[in-house]
């Protein structure tokens, strides 16, 4: 009789809290886990711990004055939010950006893409239990932070882009420093692959875990690396052909299921490694081509008064995918409405349907592989 009671007790479902201060939730995120022992029956995201009314703040600032706030939309890849806001305002006010400024935007954003992916890759490895890859990844990120600091004076919240262009041109000798970094970065990625990407234990830990098919990825609105890891070749740099990306030659990596199933946790990790290599190719080309526009100004011609009427929506390919900005002007110095669309918010939606049947430890892998950033979710 006691054995029967004991078995019934073990069958009872437990409700666990993961977060909002758990180190593996990548920010102040909370997951309500219903589990049968180590097996998850459902994991429900509970967001809202970092809501700062950043979009409402945009409706209380001037168009130019709102730029520093956009850094806080995604503090790991702030350059893309700068570009998204600037591009939306430029579309609203019909402002033309000089070619040199466009190249500087591409260079700054691709450096930031590598920097962001380094954080994602290192943190995911550490979440799984591998400590060494994280400082290796941070080392490369610090090199980039040094370069960006020389370019704009900041290392995290950049405030570099401006409506109509950028705030600073490249310092003297900076271009050569970027090339020198890329010469060391490409071999460093090969070492990183040997250290962790193709590590046997790491592969067994991630292969065939939390597989997201191409249809599921599209149905749930995944974007960026999370969408491409499921085998969907969709990148706004190719699809929308914005800025000077049509003048550059680069590939769009997609998940291939090299060690498991297309769209598993390992594919999402591997794909970001590949994207870092493609960003390196883009940077080399952009740094060469920018010399073709040495006399161009870094700021376009702005209207005397920024009091536009109308609405505009612009999207860019951020480190976390499709980032969109919608702005409405009603003839005042301040926008009437400001809204952002971010990749992390849509990625959170697929956690609940993919969690049943996972181990609790596998949920950590799923969250890390989606590379969500809390401010992108709450805003």
pLDDT per residue as tens digits for the range 205-215: 999 999 999 99
Distance CA(322)–CA(94), nearest Å, equals: 22
Q: What confidence score (pLDDT) does residue 346 get?
A: 87
Q: Does domain 52-378 have CATH number 1.10.645.10?
A: yes
Distance CA(115)–CA(235), nearest Å, equals: 19
Pick from 5-9, 25-29, 280-284, 340-344: least confident: 5-9
Confidence band of 5 (pLDDT split at 50, 70, 90): very low
Confidence band of 378 (pLDDT split at 50, 70, 90): confident
- Give 378's Cβ-side CA count (13 Å radius): 18
Q: How is residue 320 written in tokens? A: 């976390």
pLDDT higher than threshold 50 for residue 54: yes
Q: What does the pLDDT average to over 269-284?
A: 96
Q: What confidence score (pLDDT) does residue 11 get?
A: 62
Phi–psi pair at 281, nearest 5 degrees: -65, -40
CA dist list (Å): 206 to 96, 170, 356 = 46, 41, 16
Describe the crossing of helices 174-192 and 133-152 by its angle, rounded to 10 degrees: 170
Q: What confidence score (pLDDT) does residue 18 get?
A: 86
Q: Do you find a cis peptide bond into 113, omega within 30 degrees of 0? A: no
Distance CA(162)–CA(249), nearest Å, equals: 26
Phi–psi pair at 330, nearest 5 degrees: -120, 30
Contact 121, 141 (CB under 8 A): no
Please give the DSSP secondary-structure letter assigned to residue 74: -
Pick from 6-10, 77-81, 336-340: least confident: 6-10
Question: Where are the chain's structural domains?
Answer: 52-378
Name the average pLDDT for the chain.
91
pLDDT tens sequence across 117-158: 999 999 999 999 899 999 999 999 999 999 999 999 999 999
Phi–psi pair at 340, nearest 5 degrees: -120, 145
Name the percent of the chain lying above pLDDT 90.
79
Q: Give me the residues paired with residue 35 across strands.
A: 14, 40
Confidence band of 24 (pLDDT split at 50, 70, 90): confident
Task: Write the DSSP string, 241-280.
Answer: --TTGGGS---------SSS-TTSHHHHHHHHHHHHHHHH
Between 4 and 33, residue with greater pLDDT: 33
Describe the crossing of helices 99-128 and 174-192 by its angle, rounded to 10 degrees: 30
Dihedral of alpha carbons 248, 70, 68, 19, sign: negative
Between 53 and 282, residue with greater pLDDT: 282
Q: What confidence score (pLDDT) does residue 6 get?
A: 41
Cβ of 289: how many Cβ atoms within 10 Å? 15
């Amino acid at each position: 009789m006691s054995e029967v009671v004991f078995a019934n007790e073990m069958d009872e479902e437990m409700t666990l809290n993961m977060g909002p201060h758990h180190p593996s939730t990548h920010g102040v995120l909370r997951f309500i886990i219903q589990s049968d022992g180590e097996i998850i029956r459902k994991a429900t995201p509970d967001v809202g711990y970092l809501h700062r009314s950043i979009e409402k703040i945009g409706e209380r600032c001037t168009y130019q004055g709102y730029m520093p706030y956009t850094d806080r939309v995604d503090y790991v890849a702030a350059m893309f939010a700068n570009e998204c806001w600037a591009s939306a305002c430029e579309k609203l006010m019909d402002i033309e950006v000089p070619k040199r400024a466009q190249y500087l935007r591409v260079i700054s954003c691709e450096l930031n893409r590598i920097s962001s992916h380094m954080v994602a890759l290192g943190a995911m490895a550490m979440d799984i239990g591998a400590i060494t890859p994280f400082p290796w990844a941070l080392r490369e990120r610090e090199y980039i932070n040094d370069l960006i600091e020389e370019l704009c004076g900041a290392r995290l919240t950049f405030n570099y882009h401006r409506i109509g262009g950028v705030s600073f041109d490249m310092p003297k000798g900076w271009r050569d420093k970027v090339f020198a970094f890329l010469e060391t970065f490409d071999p460093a990625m090969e070492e990183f692959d040997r250290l962790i990407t193709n590590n046997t234990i790491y592969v067994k830990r991630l292969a065939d875990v939390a597989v997201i098919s191409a249809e599921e990825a599209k149905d749930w609105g995944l974007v960026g690396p999370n969408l491409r890891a499921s085998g969907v070749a969709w990148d706004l740099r190719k699809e929308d052909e914005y800025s000077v990306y049509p003048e550059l030659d680069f590939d769009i990596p997609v998940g291939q299921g090299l060690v498991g199933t297309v769209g598993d946790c390992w594919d999402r990790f591997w794909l970001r490694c590949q994207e870092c290599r493609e960003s390196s190719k883009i940077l080399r080309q952009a740094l060469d081509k920018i010399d073709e526009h040495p006399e161009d100004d870094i700021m376009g011609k702005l209207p005397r008064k920024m009091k536009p009427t109308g609405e505009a929506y612009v999207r860019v390919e951020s480190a976390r995918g499709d980032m969109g900005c919608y702005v409405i002007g009603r003839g005042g110095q301040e926008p009437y409405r400001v809204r952002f669309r971010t990749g992390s918010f849509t990625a959170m939606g697929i956690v609940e349907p993919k969690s049943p049947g996972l181990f609790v430890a596998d949920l950590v892998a799923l969250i890390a592989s989606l590379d969500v950033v809390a401010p992108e979710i709450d805003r």
